[in-house]
């Protein structure tokens, strides 16, 4: 390893989730020239599961940020380079992925003949100067110029010009254009590490403009080709502009009337999970409307109880407790379907998921071992879960391993719905809005607090009897919360 490579350390995008392949850079907390220390948070990224802050694993000065905010980066790509020995003076930093082609070396003069360049090829070794020279390659037609001219002629409606026999030197320096791969063309010249880099980046060496001596493709050439491939192509944009239909006079353009939002991160993962769940597990949804007047009175009493002072007490807390009691009485509902082994896996613990709408999309963090918690402990865990989700700090571990879920659609004024199962779970409970409605109570019509519950379940492992018993038990507890004691 060279001293330069030891001095400049590169930090790659880690796998911050469970087997995730990419992450979006949300925010940089440092800039080039900033001093960083081991463990310092340098950026925030969003995976398909959550937003995560990344610490740098070494000390030094930030040399370069490889990607801007808003860029989706594959796991394993370098995102930041750090100079770990800034006091050593200037040195050549490692090339960035989007680096331009290397500048040509100055020509040799009689007074100062050019020295042979020594390139490291293995650890501790270098390429020794050789007295032999590579035989000059035969002149090849400038295929890039002919291809470019043909495309331009096609756009202008003119016949394509004949291929140029020999390259013509431009009057001013221009950016090199990658040639088209031609069958039968000589194999491009490149060293093994460069060939591996091109393979990893998905670059065909036949399409890379070589700037090295004797037509050898360098690492910088491959990086430049990769950057050019990501850049928008003006040739591809031309036909779109020509085919665009002009808007009617006085009418706003279509672009001004529509907004396109890229589907990525949490929203993309949610969409994929919901489609997979909807078309994998046969959903069944049952409904029940229940008088929860006594539950609302209990909520008020708990708010006034000194033992619950400072805790989050609301109807959702008692709905969660009612669901846990129902699961205890009907453990078969807390299960999962193992497709590979064709088995039903009954869980003897409850990781209670709470669906939460956040600016980044819908997430379902869960309370671990919720069935083992007392009411104050459950209230504390519920408050922390909701607060963390609203701040966007929910970690992937908080969303893994859920067994059953509650979605509180009532906070939006919705009576009920048919929720889709969280993947890997067998049941989800929708809790609707609580409203004062006329209700027959003790033989008389009175205004009572009423809500509607909906339970969706996987009919492969939960039949109608089991699903109905669970929903009936939840309703019975909310109608008469004393059952929390007698059944709990």
* pLDDT for res 112: 46
What is the per-residue pLDDT for 185?
A: 55
Going from the C-alpha of 421 to that of each of 123, 285, 389, the distances in angstroms are 54, 10, 20
Domain ranges of the chain: 1-86, 266-486
Instruction: State residue 43 phi and psi, 5-degree precision.
Output: -160, 165
- DSSP 3-state of 80: strand
Residue 487 pairs with which residues in a beta bridge? none
CA distance 274 to 347: 22
Grouped pLDDT means (10 residues each) for the chain, 488 residues: 70 76 87 90 81 87 90 89 80 51 43 44 39 48 48 48 47 49 62 74 81 80 74 43 46 73 74 78 94 97 92 95 97 93 94 87 91 96 90 84 95 94 94 96 96 96 95 98 92
397 secondary structure, DSSP code = H
Angle at 106 between CA 101 and CA 110, to 5 degrees: 160
Q: What SS3 class is residue 331? A: helix
Rounded Cα gap, residues 396 and 388, in angstroms: 12
Q: Is 441 a catalytic residue?
A: no
Distance, CA of 282 to CA of 277 (rounded, Å): 9
The second-level CATH assignment, the architecture, of 1-86 is Beta Barrel (2.40)
* CATH number of the 266-486 domain: 3.30.559.10
What tens digit of pLDDT does each residue of 73-131 get?
A: 888 899 999 988 877 766 555 555 444 434 444 444 444 444 444 444 333 333 444 44
Question: 461 with 280: CB under 8 angstroms?
Answer: no
Tokens representing residue 262 in the block: 């890229």
**Of all helices (H) and strands (E), which one includes residue 15?**
none
User: Is 430 within 8 Å of 410 (Cβ atoms)?
Assistant: no
Q: Look at residue 132 in the predicted model and tell me its pLDDT.
A: 42
HSE at residue 2, side-chain half, CA atoms within 13 A, is: 13
């Amino acid at each position: 390893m060279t001293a330069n490579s030891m001095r400049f350390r590169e930090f790659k995008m880690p796998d911050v989730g469970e087997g995730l392949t990419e992450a979006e850079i949300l925010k940089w907390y440092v800039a080039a020239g900033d001093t960083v220390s081991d463990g310092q948070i340098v950026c925030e990224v969003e995976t398909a599961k959550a937003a995560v802050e990344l610490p740098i694993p070494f000390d030094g000065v930030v040399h370069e940020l490889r990607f801007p905010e808003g860029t989706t980066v594959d796991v394993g790509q370098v995102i930041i380079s750090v100079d770990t020995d800034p006091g050593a003076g200037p040195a050549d930093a490692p090339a960035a992925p989007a680096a331009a082609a290397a500048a040509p070396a100055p020509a040799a003069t009689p007074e100062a003949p050019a020295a042979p360049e020594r390139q490291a090829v293995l650890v501790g070794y270098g390429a020794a100067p050789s007295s032999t020279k590579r035989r000059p390659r035969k002149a090849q037609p400038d295929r890039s110029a002919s291809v470019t001219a043909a495309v331009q002629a096609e756009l202008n409606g003119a016949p394509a010009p004949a291929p140029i026999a020999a390259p013509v030197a431009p009057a001013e320096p221009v950016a090199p254009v990658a040639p088209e791969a031609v069958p039968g063309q000589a194999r491009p010249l490149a060293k093994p590490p460069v060939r591996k880099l091109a393979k990893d980046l998905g670059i065909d060496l036949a399409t890379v403009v070589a700037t090295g001596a004797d037509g050898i493709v360098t690492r910088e050439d491959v990086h430049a080709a990769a950057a050019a491939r990501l850049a928008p192509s003006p040739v591809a944009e031309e036909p779109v502009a020509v085919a665009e239909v002009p808007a009617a006079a006085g009418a706003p353009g279509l672009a001004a009337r529509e907004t396109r939002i890229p589907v990525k991160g949490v929203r993309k993962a949610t969409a994929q999970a919901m489609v997979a769940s909807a078309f994998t597990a046969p959903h069944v949804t049952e409904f029940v409307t229940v008088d929860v007047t006594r539950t609302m009175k209990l909520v008020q009493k708990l708010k006034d109880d000194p033992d619950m002072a400072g805790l989050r007490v609301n109807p959702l807390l008692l709905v969660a407790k009612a669901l846990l009691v129902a699961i205890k009485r009907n453990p078969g509902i807390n299960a999962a379907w193992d497709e590979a082994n064709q088995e039903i896996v009954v869980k003897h613990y409850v990781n209670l998921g709470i669906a939460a709408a956040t600016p980044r999309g819908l997430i379902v963090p869960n309370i671990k071992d919720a069935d083992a918690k007392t009411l104050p402990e459950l209230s504390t865990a519920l408050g922390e879960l909701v607060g963390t989700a609203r701040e966007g700090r929910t970690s992937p571990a908080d969303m893994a391993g859920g067994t059953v879920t509650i979605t509180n659609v009532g906070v939006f004024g919705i009576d009920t719905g048919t929720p889709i199962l969280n993947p890997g779970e067998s049941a989800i409970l929708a809790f609707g809005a609580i409203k004062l409605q006329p209700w027959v109570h003790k033989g008389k019509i009175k205004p009572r607090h009423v809500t509607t519950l909906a339970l969706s379940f996987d009919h492969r492992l939960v039949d109608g009897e089991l699903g109905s018993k669970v929903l009936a038990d939840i309703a019975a507890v909310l109608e008469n919360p004393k059952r929390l004691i007698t059944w709990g």
